[in-house]
Structure 1
Amino acid sequence: MSIGNSPEDERPFEDVSEEARPSIGRTLQQARIAAGLTVDDVSTATRVRIAIVHAIEADNFAACGGDVYARGHIKTLARAVHLDPIPLLEQYDAGRGGRPAPTPAAPLFEAERIRPERRGPNWTAAMVAAIVVVVGFVGFTVFEGGNDGGTKEQVADGTTPTATDSASPTTKTTKPDEKPDPTDSAIAAAPQDKVTVQVSAVDGRSWIYAKNHNGRILFDGLLKKGQSKTFQDSTKINLVLGDAGAIQLYVNGKKIDDDFQPGAVERLTYTKGDPQVG
């Protein structure tokens, strides 16, 4: 019998340190190659410049312009090559002493305020204002001509109700039981001097990337089934649909009937006026 370490005790320890884990850039590069994509393919799909894609795959994040932008690029590239971005973001934060402090979010979703800005006339307020004016006029007339019995009789007979009756036909034009057709509402809400794009996930979920004419990202994320987003710009909207077959589009108030295939990635550009795909 031998005394000492057994063969099992002489096996080298498994290296589970952080150094043994592939770097962020190496992980993204391997996933891109496994997906059969080139750097140009990823750049086109994500709108991240080729030079920045190369730099990130080489673990050089200085070209991103800061931690916030670097995290955003890592997240976008990971989704493009079918990776979960969360472990990569945690690895990035761990290498820099933790996640950076949050910064105020820019008002990205300007188009979500279209409906409040284009509300119809407030007939109730108009009616109240008309009643106040009539009552004030009648009160002034009564005060000035207090000895005129005819005027008093007119007030007693109900001059104020007459004003209410005159305003009532206006209120009758709105029928509470009637609901506008969604298509009509979309057309009415679309300004003629802007391009308005409504994206709805009707047949499943899809990754959506939206950008305005200045290159500012309006949305970069997953749209779940039943959810919708509306984007607006003065010139054009650029879209990338991760699963175009699950998406229904309304552009400038008109439904887009393109026969998008399930699972297909579509890159679209829409401008003002009649929907034009660029």
Structure 2
Amino acid sequence: MSEIGKTLKSARIEKGYTLDDLQQITKIQKKYLIAIEEENFAALPGVFYVRAFIKQCAETVGLNPAELLSQLKSQEQPVETVEEPKTRTAATKKDLQRTDRFNHFLNLLPTIIIVAVVVIILGSIYFVAWNNHQKNSSTQEIQSSKVSVSSSSVKSQKKSANSATKKSSQTSSSSVKQSSTNKKSAKQKTSQKIKLTSNSGQSFVYELTTAKKQISKVKLTASAKAWSAISIDGSQQWQGTLTAGESHELSLPADATKLSFNLGNSKATSITINGKKFNFLKDNSTLTVRTLTVNIQSQD
């Protein structure tokens, strides 16, 4: 164990925290806390989470996260490799090979030019002949179509008159149905409201007011690599890491009263509740790791 893990573990013990206590406070899984203290960073979802979790743990146990992140950065610096210098003989051989290839290309250049000119001439002849053939065939098609159009125009006029009468009656009935459907959907969209009720550090509590049994689905979408977890009424239903463009949708029971979201990269995560975007970034958009609690208030 090196200094970063040892320092975090010592500070945690001094605070009197167990790993379970630290998991409850930071919402970081216990296996990741153990991996950080043992400096097994490969067990974490990625480099971003190594930095984010170390910063959050340091702040929780009263350490300066900047110092630990500086140590981590110094450990991550790649070792520069020094290439052995090429010998003068090898360089000379490569130069001679390049010269030979260039001379060979110059010798073939006249032949290449002649072949290219011949191909261009043959292509031009073929294009002109094909274009003339297309013009002749299109002229014949136009003449034959004029005859068929004149005979079918009378029939189409009769059909259009009959279909216009039917369409007018169908349009009037469908417009009534559409207007009633639009009114219902408008009511559903405006009846769902969400507001912030309290905030403490990285934790935010909201109240969602919605029509009774309206909430049915919650969807998480990531624009970059992001770890997230969803709990319903205190029971975790899903947790995982989404890559850019991925999403996860979860169906809710009708009697659900509380939603909880643990976001490891909230800036790259968007949430929709029943198809409506939950704009939580307006409440302190600088935070990366955050916990969201949504209390559901149903109206009849």
Same fold (TM over 0.5): no
Q: When you count helix as a share of all residues, which structure comes out higher?
A: 2
TM-score, normalization by structure 2: 0.33
| Higher share of residues assigned strand | 2
* Structure ID, larger Rg: 2
